Amino acid sequence: MSRRMIKLGYLTIASLLAAFLYEPSPANAAGGGIKIDLRVHGGYSRLAASDVNTGSGGMFEFYKLIAEYGVYEYEGGYKPLHGGYDVGFDFVFLLSPRLGIGIGAGYLRSVGTGDLTLTMETGVLAFESKSVLSALPVRLGLYYALPLRAGLSLTANAGAALYVGRMFNDHFRFEQDVTWGAQDIDADRVGFSDVGFQGGLGVDYRISSTMGIFVEAQGRYAKFKNFGEVSITAASYEGGPQTREGKIYLRSQNLATDPPVVFNTFLVESTPPTPDPPDILIREPKFDFSGFCLQAGVRIRL
C-alpha cells in the first residue's frame, strides 16, 4: 500500500473512532437510549479484476503460445488476481431491536502471480510477476436482524461505499543467463468520486447482552475508471532504473495464428498511443473490485 493510502486509512479510522466513541449520540445524551454495535470483521475476498488479469497475464499467455508453436518445454503460467482478504469495522446505530444504520471502513487486497520457465536451444528463459490490487472503502448502509430462536438471528445489510483510496502495482521480470529485465507499474488514487454498492446475508449468535459473533456473505459491485497518472520504472542488465510518468493503457494485438490469438499487455504512455484496428486495439482499462466476501466477526455493544 502506498504511503498516501496508509495515511488516508489512519485518518479515516481515527475520524470514525473519534466521531462514534468520544461523541455521545443526541439520543443517549438525552436518555433516549439509542444503542450502538461495533462490528469487527474479516475474511476471504474475491475480486473480478478482469482487465487487470488481461493485462498482467498477457505476456505469460504469449510465451506459452511461443513454446507450443516452437515445441519447447515450459512449466508454470499466470495465476489470476482474484482471491485475497477483506477486513474492516462498522458502527451500527440501532433505531429499533431489528433495524440499524451503519457506517464503517475497511481494507481489501488481492494478489496475482506469474511464474513461467521455457527451455529452448539457447537456454532457459524465466518470467515472474506479481500484481496487487487494493482499496480502502468507507461504507454506509442499513442493517436488519430477524430473530430465529433464542440468541440466533438472520441478518441482512445493504448500502453504498465510497472508495476513498485504491492502489495497483504490477511487477514483471525476465531472466536468461546473465540477461535480465524488469518493470514496475505503480498507481494510486485518492478521491471521493468512486462509489460502489454492497449487500449481504448472515447469521448472528448472541453470546451475552453485550457481545455476539456472526458469519456472513457479502456481495460487492465496484467497477471504476482508469487511474490518472501512474509511474513505470524499468531496469535491465544494461542499466537503470529509470522512471517516467504517464497513463496506463491496455493494448490488444490480434496475432496471425491459427487458431486466432490475442496478445494483451499494459502500456504506460504520456500521450495516448495510436491503435491500428482491427489488428491493434488500445483502450483505458477498468479496475473492477466487484466480487464477494465470506467473513466472520465479533459484535460488541457499546
What is the arithmetic mean of pLDDT over 218-244?
Answer: 94
pLDDT at 256: 78
Tell me, what DSSP letter sits at residue 70?
A: H
What confidence score (pLDDT) does residue 239 get? 87
Task: Round to whole Å and give the CA distance between 240 and 230.
Answer: 18
Task: Give the separation between CA 263 and CA 179, rounded to whole angstroms.
Answer: 24
| Among 30-39, 118-127, 221-230, 286-295, the least confident range | 30-39
At 68-121, the pLDDT tens digits run: 887 789 999 999 999 999 999 999 999 999 999 999 999 999 999 999 999 988
Among 13-22, 83-92, 290-299, whose mean pLDDT is lowest? 13-22
Q: Is 282 exposed, middle or buried (0-12, 13-18, 19+ CB in 10 A)?
A: middle
- Average pLDDT score over residue span 282-291: 97
Question: Whole-number mean pLDDT of the chain?
Answer: 90
Residue 273 is given by DSSP the state P
> How would residue 295 be classed by pLDDT, with cut points 50, 70 and 90?
very high
- Using one digit for the tens of pLDDT, what is the confidence trace for 148-161? 998 999 999 999 99
* Per-residue pLDDT at 22: 43
* Residue of higher predicted confidence among 139 and 177: 139
Question: 153: which residues sit within 8 A by CB, 6+ positions away?
Answer: 145, 146, 147, 203, 204, 206
Using the structure block, give the residue that is written with the C-alpha cell 542499466. 239
Q: Hey, what's the cell of 228?
A: 490518472
pLDDT at residue 298 is higher than 60? yes
Domain 3-225+288-300 fold is Porin (2.40.160)
> Does the pLDDT at position 179 exceed 50?
yes
pLDDT of amino acid 11: 55
More confident residue, 259 or 165: 165
The confidence band for 31, taking pLDDT boundaries of 50, 70 and 90, is: very low
Q: What does the pLDDT read at residue 2? A: 54
pLDDT beyond 60 at 12: no
Nearest Cα neighbor of 202 from 13, 36, 39, 16 is 39
Cα 19 to Cα 12, 22, 73, 140, 164: the distances in Å are 11, 6, 60, 14, 18
Q: pLDDT tens for residues 36-56?
A: 999 999 999 999 999 999 999
Predicted confidence at residue 28, as pLDDT, reads: 43
pLDDT value of position 23 = 43
Give pLDDT, residue 146.
96
The residue with greater pLDDT, 98 or 12, is 98
